[in-house]
Amino acid sequence: MIPNKGKYHFTSESVTEGHPDKVADQISDAILDVILSQDKNARVACETLVTTGLAFIAGEITTTGYADFPSVVRETIKDIGYNHSDMGFDWETCSVISSIDKQSADIAQGVDRDDPESQGAGDQGMMFGFASDETETFMPAPIYWSHKLSRRLAYVRKEGILDFLRPDGKTEVSFLYEDGVPKKIDTVVVATQHSENVTHSDLVDAVREEVINKTIPGEYLDKDTRIFINTTGRFVIGGPMGDCGLTGRKIIQDTYGGMGNHGGGAFSGKDPSKVDRSAAYMARYVAKNVVAAGLAPRCEVQIAYVIGVAEPVSVLVTSMGSSELPDELLTKAVNEVFDLRPFYITKRLDLLRPIYKKTACYGHFGRTNPDFTWERTDAVDDLRTAAKV
């Protein structure tokens, strides 16, 4: 639990779209999108591994649609920016291998129903959502600004502003909190892949000026703020050549940067019947509306399911001690306002659409894209009425 009193530091990290694990996430979600665009009732669980010169696709897919896996993989890699063979991984020459089976009939009989409203959860487990009033997007400040830096790294690379940058990169931001409020940034860390034709000192100066100074507001920085840029001195070998990438290995940067809890399930490559994804999106939607309604400055929601059963086995809404309203009242209000059965989650958030590739980097939450329906705050009035405030 994050303290509400006293001084403390909290740190979160983000990665760019060229990080090998994010390459894998984007490929898995690109395949999901292609299939959902043809068959909204498809069952998809697609995993990706990327390494030097190779992308390997595996999983379980049941669909009436068709996906040309090599084309989807190559187009995704091209969009990210791996377009030169000297990177050890590029869209034109990498091998693509696939091993796809159908979804288990044993799972399907527990999920699919003649009556769609009684659709069972696709797995057991607990999912969490979180929201905080410390940024305009109701996200924690450390992950919010870490994502901003990562997006800026990709922007200056793709626009040619810093043409020596390559796709792989990571950022990290440490905030000083006082009584639960982010006051200033203590530390900024940037690690970015680059070509051989730039000196370390030139890269440090350019990243400081074009990325950090043009992203982080001056009010958060002072003379004591520590800035670390490419501290090993060299980052030429990167991406899938530098590290093997796998779907689902960046679940903390996908969510809230470590603030709040995580149920352990990854999102990318999974259709909405998998509550790992859909219920986590719903939990974020609920938590954000609780905070936007003014019921709590911080809110965490836990929803738990049993495979094949529609109703959640438990729902907990907590302000983590930040609200005068008791958690019991918040939980009761949420249960009155929201139907948390899988069918109704999918319906309310309109999840049977090919919208998932764009979620696969820079966080699934705190985004302003209108396709991210779980970021709406359209339940505020209903929650206030249910809570009688």
pLDDT tens per residue, range 79-92: 999 998 878 899 98
- Round to whole Å and give the CA distance between 35 and 23: 19
SS3 content of the chain, % helix, strand, coil (to 5): 35, 25, 45
Average pLDDT of the segment spanning 293-304: 98
Which residues, in sequence order, are CB contacts of 78 under 8 Å at separation 6+?
91
- Round to whole Å and give the CA distance between 226 and 220: 12
Is a pLDDT exceeding 80 seen at residue 282?
yes
Tens digit of each residue's pLDDT (9 = 90 or more) over 351-373: 999 999 999 999 999 999 999 99
- The structural architecture, per CATH, of the domain 20-104 is 2-Layer Sandwich (3.30)
Is residue 169 a known part of a binding site? Answer: yes
CA 54 to chain centre: 24
Q: Kindly report the average pLDDT of the chain as a whole number.
A: 95
* CB atoms near residue 234 (< 10 Å): 10
Is residue 113 a known part of a binding site? Answer: no
Q: Which of 388, 358, 364, 181 is closest to 283 using CA atoms?
A: 364
Could you tell me which residues are beta bridge partners of residue 50? 55, 245
Is residue 168 a known part of a binding site? Answer: yes
Is residue 103 a known part of a binding site? Answer: yes
- Round to whole Å and give the CA distance between 220 and 103: 49
Is residue 243 a known part of a binding site? Answer: yes
- Round to whole Å and give the CA distance between 162 and 331: 49
Topology of the domain covering 125-133+248-387:
GMP Synthetase; Chain A, domain 3 (3.30.300)
- Round to whole Å and give the CA distance between 36 and 356: 10
Q: In the chain, where does the domain assigned CATH 3.30.300.10 lie?
A: 7-15+141-238, 20-104, 125-133+248-387
Is residue 250 a known part of a binding site? Answer: yes
Q: Which of 282, 290, 375, 285 is closest to 325 using CA atoms?
A: 290
Tens digit of each residue's pLDDT (9 = 90 or more) over 175-207: 999 999 999 999 999 999 999 999 999 999 999
Is residue 364 a known part of a binding site? Answer: no
Topology of the domain covering 7-15+141-238:
GMP Synthetase; Chain A, domain 3 (3.30.300)
- Round to whole Å and give the CA distance between 361 and 357: 8
CA 302 to chain centre: 17
Is residue 184 a known part of a binding site? Answer: no
- pLDDT above 70 coverage of the chain, percent: 97
Which residues, in sequence order, are CB contacts of 192 under 8 Å at separation 6+?
16, 153, 165, 166, 168, 169, 170, 203, 207, 229, 230, 235
Q: What pLDDT sits at residue 157?
A: 98
Write the DSSP symbol of residue 121: B
Q: What pLDDT sits at residue 87?
A: 82
Q: Which residue has the tokens 């693509």?
A: 96
Q: What pLDDT sits at residue 1?
A: 60
- 3-class DSSP state for residue 348? helix
Is residue 170 a known part of a binding site? Answer: yes
Average pLDDT of the segment spanning 3-11: 90
Tens digit of each residue's pLDDT (9 = 90 or more) over 30-59: 999 999 999 999 999 999 999 999 999 999
**What is the identity of the amino acid at 222?**
D
- 3-class DSSP state for residue 256? coil
Q: Which of 40, 12, 247 is closest to 132 using CA atoms?
A: 12
Helix (H) or strand (E) holding 192: strand 181-194
Give the per-residue SS3 of 199-246. CHHHHHHHHHHHHHCCCCCHHHCCCCCEEEECCCCCCCCCHHHHCCEE
Which residues, in sequence order, are CB contacts of 251 under 8 Å at separation 6+?
262, 264, 265, 266, 267
Is residue 78 a known part of a binding site? Answer: no
Is residue 249 a known part of a binding site? Answer: yes
- Round to whole Å and give the CA distance between 361 and 37: 20
Is a pLDDT exceeding 60 seen at residue 331?
yes
Confidence of residue 171 (pLDDT cuts 50, 70, 90): very high
- Round to whole Å and give the CA distance between 19 and 116: 39
Q: What pLDDT sits at residue 258?
A: 97
This model's pTM is above 0.75: yes
